[in-house]
Structure 1
């Protein structure tokens, strides 16, 4: 197995391993987990994974749960989420971490490319530990005292639900189950202990105990840190590519520049455990 770092701060491509072979994965399990914690997102090429293969591999990094987002589940594998689009608005072309509107957001995710366009459809990740480290210490201390509200009802996601179910029943069911919740503005990573910015442009609606103007300015500034190229990595997908990322330490952005080509991905959410 060979590991090649893609940038100084985030992202490594790993070769020489067949993720569908449990023996190979088990032999490198500790190194794979350590590399993910250090590099925050890891990539593999030329893999051939059934839905059950993908779920088994994802369990290397933690527990997996049945699909609980606004995208549909695979008909034969309730742990695999279907992400199918044609370069149109799905709500993923905004810097975000997945499901921060849940009380315990996923610790990570495993994404497998089933079918991708000839060009376009890249995904970018940004290290929010590096984003936090870039801030002045006085600002860091101030931010540690604050909490922010996260809500799943971003317009693009609500529109996506309306297309899937024009009756509105699915929207009402999710709205009833997932009310807005508070999260710390600065979170300490549960494994590495490193502090990170836990504010994103998609789901963070406002910051508590400050004025509306200050809340808007802080959210804009903090979520905008993901746009800094020095702590980003960009990945060009090919059929059979796999990405595993730390959903607490990073944010990501799915580039929607491939319409009308189709992009079909399978995702498994990973819980700490």
Structure 2
């Protein structure tokens, strides 16, 4: 197994391993976990993964649960989400971490490219540990005292449910199940212990204990840190590519530039053990 760092800050491509082979995955499991903790997102090329094989790969990095997002589940594997789009109204072309509106957001995710456009549709990741480290010490101390509200009802996600169920049943069920919750503005990473800026433009709606204007300004400042190129990595998908990322330490952005081509991805959310 070989490792090539893509940028100094974040992201590594791993070769010399067949993820469909359980014995190879088991042999390298500890090393893969260590690389992910250090590099925050890792990539593999030219893989052939059935839904069941993808689930096995995801289990290397933590516990998995059935799909609990607003995307549909695979008909043969309830742990695999179907992300199918044509570069319009995806709602993922905003810097975010997945499902931060849940009490225990996923610790990571495993994304497999089933079918991708010839060009376009890249995904970018940003290190939010590097983002925290860039801040003034006084600002770091202040942010540690704050909590923020996270809400799943971003327009694109609500619209996605409305398209899947025009009767509004899915939307009403989601509203009842997932009420807005508060998260720390700065999280201590459960594996590395490093502080992470845990505010994103898609789901963070208000910071508690400050005025609306101050809240808006802080959210803009903190979510905007993901846009700094020095702690980003950009990945060009090919059919059979796999990305595994740390959903606590990073944010990501799916570039929405491939309409009318189709893009089909399979995702498995990874929970903490």
Residue 205 (structure 2) aligns with: 205
Residue 19 (structure 1) aligns with: 19
Q: Find the residue that maps to 1:158 and give its secondary structure.
A: helix
Determine the C-alpha separation between the residues in 2 that align with 1:108 and 1:39. Answer: 13
Q: Provide TM-score, normalisation by structure 2.
A: 1.00
Residue 156 (structure 2) aligns with: 156
Q: Find the residue that maps to 2:60 and give its secondary structure.
A: helix
How does 1:40-59 map onto structure 2 within 5 Å? 40-59=40-59
Q: Find the residue that maps to 1:26 and give its secondary structure.
A: helix
Determine the C-alpha separation between the residues in 2 that align with 1:18 and 1:89. Answer: 34
Runs of 4+, deviation exceeding 3 Å = none
Residue 7 (structure 2) aligns with: 7
How does 1:171-250 map onto structure 2 within 5 Å? 171-250=171-250
Determine the C-alpha separation between the residues in 1 that align with 2:231 and 2:89. Answer: 25
Q: Find the residue that maps to 1:61 and give its secondary structure.
A: coil
Residue 251 (structure 1) aligns with: 251
How does 1:32-71 map onto structure 2 within 5 Å? 32-71=32-71
Q: Find the residue that maps to 1:265 and give its secondary structure.
A: strand
Residue 128 (structure 2) aligns with: 128
Residue 98 (structure 2) aligns with: 98
Q: Find the residue that maps to 2:25 and give its secondary structure.
A: helix
CA RMSD of aligned residues (A): 0.3
Runs of 5+ unmatched residues, structure 1: none
Residue 75 (structure 1) aligns with: 75
Q: CA deviation at 1:154?
A: 0.3
Q: CA deviation at 1:192?
A: 0.2
Q: CA deviation at 1:216?
A: 0.2
Determine the C-alpha separation between the residues in 1 that align with 2:184 and 2:45. Answer: 36
Q: Provide TM-score, normalisation by structure 1.
A: 1.00
Q: CA deviation at 1:90?
A: 1.8
Residue 28 (structure 1) aligns with: 28
Determine the C-alpha separation between the residues in 2 that align with 1:152 and 1:4. Answer: 36
What are the Cα deviations for residues 77-97 of structure 1, in whole angstroms up to 9, with x where unaligned? Answer: 000000000000121000000
Q: CA deviation at 1:106?
A: 0.1
Kindly tell me the number of residue pairs found equivalent between the two proteins: 273
Residue 142 (structure 2) aligns with: 142
Residue 165 (structure 2) aligns with: 165
